[in-house]
Structure 1
Amino acid sequence: MLLNDRVNAFSELGKFLSQFKTTGYEKVNSVLCNEDFFEEMSQKIDTAVHHNGWFTKENILFSLKQWGNALTKENLDNWLSSYSLTKNKAKTIGTIMAGNIPLVGFHDFLSVLISGNKILVKQSSNDNQLLPFLSTYLIAIEPRFKDRISFTFDKLKSFDAIIATGSDNTSRYFEYYFSKVPNVIRKNRNSVAVLTGSETKEELQALGEDIFRYYGLGCRSVSKIMIPKNYKFDLFFEAMYDYHDIMNSAKYANNYDYNKAVYLMSNYKLFENGFLMLKEDESYASPIATLFYEKYESIDLLIKKIEKDKEKIQCIVGNSFLSGCIEFGQTQNPMLSDYADGIDIIEFLTKIN
């Protein structure tokens, strides 16, 4: 199977995904294999929340929209143009996926297959519905993928390299168990926003998308804000009000109530507005319904801190005085070249002997 064949197959998958919009499902007759897959995909979306209460229809559709937009032939060709993907023998890449947000492991799935390799997937039980179904669609489009895609519930065996995503605790096990093969082991990461106090209400409203999308469960979700001394939260809370409907989620509301009770019993100082708590804390990983904040003395000192903690940080949101900053509201809209932990997976795969 040539690279162009693989690109064409994934671009067809992108067209399929683009039918499922937050405004409604729009069946497009020109989409390949639609008669066999459209209705079942609709059911998968509508029932996902029964398998995982965090996977609401809105968040599933948001994820599908991002991938539908990304998987165009133009985007795929541009992404892959800087790599040499001409090797002859496919390697088997064991891939252990997280399950915190819908299709969180899809980029690894795409990277392994588009690079001409075989994938052996061990999914999280929290996110094991959509990817196998999309794999079936991909095989219907390009049958040669059938021998290149495998899923397992058991311990991974017979692989040439590993991509494993987990926590700081599981990474120690992964590093020991997979030490004899080429590997990429991902640990806990969180995202931060740097505020100066000069942000507009519109920018802060966009930041709310970075905070609340997927209930804050993703590594690209902003879990902490860096603020100058004497920062006033009035405009921040005013901007966040647009997201107050998040409390309609029973799971989110339960976490809010629980964490608030814990904080109050521990006499922590909090700012809160009925659906989000702000707690001063040096950590990066804040609990659900909580946003940590930390004050900085100067931009220079802040840059040094961020550099020191870079292994803990996935994204930095803010205005462009910091290199690599992402615009407000854009953390959940990564490009194909935005790799988790900053590790270029395609480059990693091309170097496996």
Structure 2
Amino acid sequence: TRESLDAWIPMWPLGGTASRTVGMVGAGNLPLVALHDLLCGYVAGHRVRFKASSDDPILTAEVLRRLKSLDSEADIEVVDRMNGVEALIATGGDQAVAHFDQYFATVPRILRGARTSAAVVPADATDAELDALSDDLFRYFGRGCRSVTHLALERGFDVQRLFASWMKWSRIAEHARYGSNYDYHRALFMLNREPFLENNWVVLREHETLKPPLSVVHTTWHDSTAAAESWLDAQSDQLQTVVGRGRTPFGQSQFPALWDYADGVDTPAFLVGLG
């Protein structure tokens, strides 16, 4: 919003004014996932060369077209190759990030690998909190670094309340790819005789892994919310955000402010420092 932009721009650090050619590589797990990086590049006044994911070729290109219709001097182009870039911002899987780190070893870079998000669920969680939490879990099928995929539960919480709060999202099972993942992993866990709970469209499984496969939500039990938070904080390098009381509010994991920078890396400071 205009109000957010007016609050955000004064936060930018002062720095050089030289324009650099900055390459940006977008992930394809969510629509417009690279929009914040592109906005930062535009505000910084750099020449941006953007490589879109094959899974997100339309929306980002349309946003850039509209930006250029408002500012014909905006030097942002969609490219197929990162030739001649002086800095790089790239987001992708861990293997892709390792490749970028090696290939662009001589230029300043921000590289973001695979992360996920988790939530701390107190034993006395309200119905409203659980309803909002379901949005954090399923808004984008559980994809993307800000989707909650792991629930750190306080002992005494009734897990059946989760299934009741999730029913409004049951329609995602109608998506063929999601439904196939659910069928596959449910069958796999049954063959392996692994205990789990399910409601015909999502599997709830006790496991310490923070990032389960699509259609699966992992849980761990903790003696208190403080213990749950401590356990998650010890793995902060794998997490984008933690939802809970006193943390990112329930239902808000997918709505970061302009100054909530991915992986905690200050993108404006990086871009301004290039000049």
2:252 maps to 1:330: yes
SS of the equivalent of 2:67 reads helix
Deviation of 1:237 (Å): 1.4
Moved more, 188-197 or 230-239: 230-239
- How far apart, CA to CA, are the structure 2 residues paired with 1:111 and 1:225? 32
- How far apart, CA to CA, are the structure 2 residues paired with 1:185 and 1:221? 19
Check whether the contact 1:85–1:115 (CA below 8 A) recurs between aligned residues: no
2:48 maps to 1:119: yes
Alignment partner, residue 190 of structure 1? 116
Deviation of 1:248 (Å): 2.2
2:67 maps to 1:138: yes
2:165 maps to 1:244: no
Structure with the higher fraction of residues in helix conformation: 1
Check whether the contact 2:123–2:156 (CA below 8 A) recurs between aligned residues: no
Which one scores higher on RCO, CA 8 angstroms, separation ≥ 6? 2
SS of the equivalent of 2:73 reads helix
Distance 1:297-1:221 versus aligned 2 partners, 3 A rule: same
- How far apart, CA to CA, are the structure 2 residues paired with 1:268 and 1:241? 24
Check whether the contact 1:204–1:239 (CA below 8 A) recurs between aligned residues: yes
Check whether the contact 2:153–2:228 (CA below 8 A) recurs between aligned residues: no
The code of the aligned residue for 1:225 comes to L
Moved more, 289-298 or 119-128: 289-298
Cα RMSD, aligned residues only: 1.5
- How far apart, CA to CA, are the structure 2 residues paired with 1:291 and 1:140? 43
Among 184, 191, 194, the alignment partner of 1:258 is 184
CA deviation map 1:7-55 (0-9, x unaligned): xxxxxxxxxxxxxxxxxxxxxxxxxxxxxxxxxxxxxxxxxxxxxxxxx
Distance 1:168-1:256 versus aligned 2 partners, 3 A rule: same
Alignment partner, residue 80 of structure 2? 153
Deviation of 1:86 (Å): 6.3
The code of the aligned residue for 1:118 comes to R
Check whether the contact 1:223–1:292 (CA below 8 A) recurs between aligned residues: yes
SS of the equivalent of 2:217 reads strand
| TM-score, normalised by the number of residues in structure 1 | 0.75
Check whether the contact 1:85–1:116 (CA below 8 A) recurs between aligned residues: no
Among 196, 218, 229, the alignment partner of 1:292 is 218
Deviation of 1:110 (Å): 0.6
SS of the equivalent of 1:220 reads coil
Alignment partner, residue 345 of structure 1? 267
- How far apart, CA to CA, are the structure 1 residues paired with 2:109 and 2:179? 39
- How far apart, CA to CA, are the structure 1 residues paired with 2:105 and 2:97? 11
Alignment partner, residue 215 of structure 1? 141
2:30 maps to 1:101: yes
Deviation of 1:296 (Å): 1.8
Count of aligned positions: 275
Among 91, 106, 118, the alignment partner of 2:20 is 91
Deviation of 1:338 (Å): 1.1
Identity of aligned residues (%): 32
Alignment partner, residue 205 of structure 2? 279
Deviation of 1:230 (Å): 4.5
- How far apart, CA to CA, are the structure 2 residues paired with 1:226 and 1:303? 8
| TM-score, normalised by the number of residues in structure 2 | 0.95
Deviation of 1:172 (Å): 1.6
Deviation of 1:298 (Å): 3.8
SS of the equivalent of 2:140 reads helix
- How far apart, CA to CA, are the structure 2 residues paired with 1:223 and 1:121? 29
Deviation of 1:98 (Å): 0.3
SS of the equivalent of 2:177 reads helix
2:161 maps to 1:232: no
- How far apart, CA to CA, are the structure 2 residues paired with 1:302 and 1:126? 35
CA deviation map 1:163-188 (0-9, x unaligned): 01111222222222222111101111
Distance 1:116-1:227 versus aligned 2 partners, 3 A rule: same
Check whether the contact 1:223–1:285 (CA below 8 A) recurs between aligned residues: yes
Check whether the contact 1:319–1:327 (CA below 8 A) recurs between aligned residues: yes
Which sections of structure 1, spanning at least 5 residues, go unmatched? 1-69
